[in-house]
Amino acid sequence: MPAELTSAEIPFRVGQGFDVHPFSDDPERVLVLGGVRFPDATGLVGHSDADVIAHACTDAILGAAGLGDIGQLFPDTSADFAGADSIELLEEATRRVNGAGWVVGNVDCTVILDRPKLAPVRQQMHDRLSAAVGAPVSVKGKRTEGVAGLGGGIQCHAVALLVRAPSSPARSLAAPENDTTEGFPS
Ligand SMILES: [Zn+2]
């Protein structure tokens, strides 16, 4: 154990994400949460599919890796992301995070909403989100019973842990000039 550990040597990073979208008046908007569609629920306003859980997870992992935020990566002024499947955005963010030398350890989310109930599809949301980031993603629903004045939309908070990717044996044996794995713990 070195006497002094610099932040660059710490093999973990933590990130936090938050998102909120208001309910839509448009009956055509389908509610999507954690990559799961709720055909009978009121949809949310958004440029993409307005999946607040996927968006909060995306911001959490990007923030942990120091790669900015979802708005920088996928601008809502771009027609490319109109109606986008936010699970695909989360997958792309994961690729960027992995490319920067990190793997996702886990993500934990709290969704603040009074409706609909999440419990019946919690496993489905877990499965879709976990597949996107390659690590466990837990989703907890928190009802406010109306006291927080959140009847107008759905919020999500997410916390992500990133773990420095282990350097490959080849890299350990002969690190190239520009090897970014230097300083990785063995
Ligand atoms: Zn969003």
Give residue 21 CA to ligand 1 midpoint distance, Å: 6
| Within a domain: 169 | no
| Within a domain: 2 | no
> Predicted confidence band at 169 (pLDDT cuts at 50, 70, 90)?
very low
* pLDDT tens-digit series, residues 92-140: 999 999 999 999 999 999 999 988 999 999 999 999 999 999 999 999 9
In the prediction, which pLDDT does 1 show? 56
How many structural domains compose the chain? 1
Q: Which of 124, 135, 108 is nearest to 33 (CA)?
A: 124
* pLDDT tens-digit series, residues 134-158: 999 999 999 887 766 666 899 999 9
CB 82 within 8 A of CB 63: no
| Within a domain: 4 | no
In the prediction, which pLDDT does 186 show? 29
| Within a domain: 130 | yes
| Within a domain: 137 | yes
In the prediction, which pLDDT does 2 show? 58
State phi, psi for 9 to the nearest 5 degrees: -95, -10
Instruction: State what percent of residues in the chain have pLDDT above 90.
Output: 69
Give residue 147 CA to ligand 1 midpoint distance, Å: 23
| Within a domain: 176 | no
| Within a domain: 174 | no
**Could you give the residue ranges of the DSSP H alpha helices within 21-168?**
52-65, 70-73, 86-99, 122-133
Give residue 60 CA to ligand 1 midpoint distance, Å: 12
DSSP state at residue 28:
T
DSSP state at residue 32:
E
* pLDDT tens-digit series, residues 28-43: 999 999 999 999 999 9
Question: Structure pTM?
Answer: 0.85
CB 133 within 8 A of CB 94: yes
The CATH number of the domain holding residue 98 is 3.30.1330.50
The strand pair at 153-164 and 137-142 is best described as unpaired
Give residue 53 CA to ligand 1 midpoint distance, Å: 8
Give the structural domain span for 157: 10-164
In the prediction, which pLDDT does 80 show? 82
The strand pair at 102-112 and 137-142 is best described as parallel
Give residue 150 CA to ligand 1 midpoint distance, Å: 16
Give residue 92 CA to ligand 1 midpoint distance, Å: 15
Provide mean pLDDT across the span 34-53. Answer: 95
Rounded to a whole number, what is the largest CA-CA distance in the chain?
61
DSSP state at residue 115:
S
- What lies within 8 Å, CB to CB, of 139 at 6+ separation is 34, 53, 109, 111, 118, 122, 125, 126, 129
| Within a domain: 131 | yes
